[in-house]
Amino acid sequence: MLRDFTKLQTLIVVAQEKNFSKASAKLGISQPAVTQQIKFIEQYFKVKIIIRKKNGVQLTKEGETLLLIAQDIEKNLHKYHPQIMQMIQRKDSIRFACSYTIGHFIFPKCLSSLQQKVYPNIEYSISTSLQAIEDLKNGLCEIALTESYIPDKSITYREWLEDELVLISTQNLPRIIHREELYSYTWIGLEMTKQTIPEVYKYLKTININKDNLNVKMRFDSLDKIKQFMLEHRESKTQYIAFLPYIQVKNELQNRLFYSTKILGVRLKRKLYLAHLKKTNDPLMDSIIEYIIFNNKISLH
């Protein structure tokens, strides 16, 4: 009998993501490891459970049956989770380091349920993604929630949420603008060293926009400072535009302090990450991480 639920959880995530690569990012393991676990299940039961296709994966009839069983097992594990957690005699605090957007607008949404359902002693600080990762490496926190993937061999990154960057302005804009019109606006941007920039430039490149020809008036070292500059210059005769996370400017857009527009044919999204040190063997940490990644539904809209 297959007793290792880890492999069944891999099946659940692959079925949800419909993609081996996305499943590996969610699970925090390599894509070959995901493939190996699925192959193990297939070899164990001597049936094919997943068929790879160009646009993703498809479960076979046997795969769909096994998925229902795995989901039922997962549901029962969650049911007994509170009793299991009571066995862990811990009173110390689990410390999170959050980037600005996550710490102010996202993590507070899940903190209460995390404390009630998993572990009450949670603390968190707010800084930049880079500082959060430094805190993690220096033992100042156990988990980092970041807006950037900052490569480090000692750290495991798990894809957590997907956030949308919107093009906002201090003045009213057409509902949709064409790519060539981007050159006529005055831009506020991030410093060239910041991790968010490659995401923006990658999308601009896909629509044949040369970033070097954009009229970038000023650069700041954080998205928060861009937002503050935009708020302070709402009455300026110059119409400034910038990319900012939707969740960070949602209230300002609703109150008409900012205006947003869409670039024809472009939707800019970015990944948010949960990071922790490798080689951790801690049931409490595992429970907290699994709850945040898989069991905590957060709306960013």
The domains spanning 94-162+271-298 and 163-265 adopt the same CATH topology: yes
Q: What is the pLDDT of residue 190?
A: 75
Number of neighbours of residue 236 by Cβ within 10 angstroms: 12
Please give the Cα distance from 90 to 119 (Å, whole number).
9
CATH number belonging to the domain at 94-162+271-298, selected among 2.60.40.10, 3.40.50.720, 3.40.190.10, 3.40.50.450: 3.40.190.10
pLDDT at 199: 65
SS3 for 94? strand
pLDDT tens for the 301 residues of the chain, in order: 566 788 888 998 899 888 898 888 888 888 889 999 999 998 998 999 999 888 889 999 999 999 999 888 888 877 776 777 666 667 789 999 999 999 999 999 999 999 988 889 999 999 988 899 999 999 999 999 998 888 899 999 999 998 888 999 999 988 898 888 888 999 998 776 555 556 677 777 777 788 888 899 998 888 888 999 999 999 998 999 999 999 999 999 999 999 999 887 777 888 899 999 987 678 888 889 988 998 767 776 6
Report the CATH number of the 5-88 domain: 1.10.10.10
| Cβ-based burial of 133 (10 A; exposed 0-12, middle 13-18, buried ≥19) | buried
Query: For domain 163-265, which CATH number applies: 1.25.40.10, 3.30.43.10, 3.40.190.10, 3.50.50.60?
Result: 3.40.190.10
pLDDT at residue 26, as a whole number? 87
Q: What are phi and psi of 54, to 5 degrees?
A: -60, -35
Interstrand relation of 186-190 and 240-245 (parallel, antiparallel or unpaired): parallel
d(CA 133, CA 145): 9
Domain ranges of the chain: 5-88, 94-162+271-298, 163-265
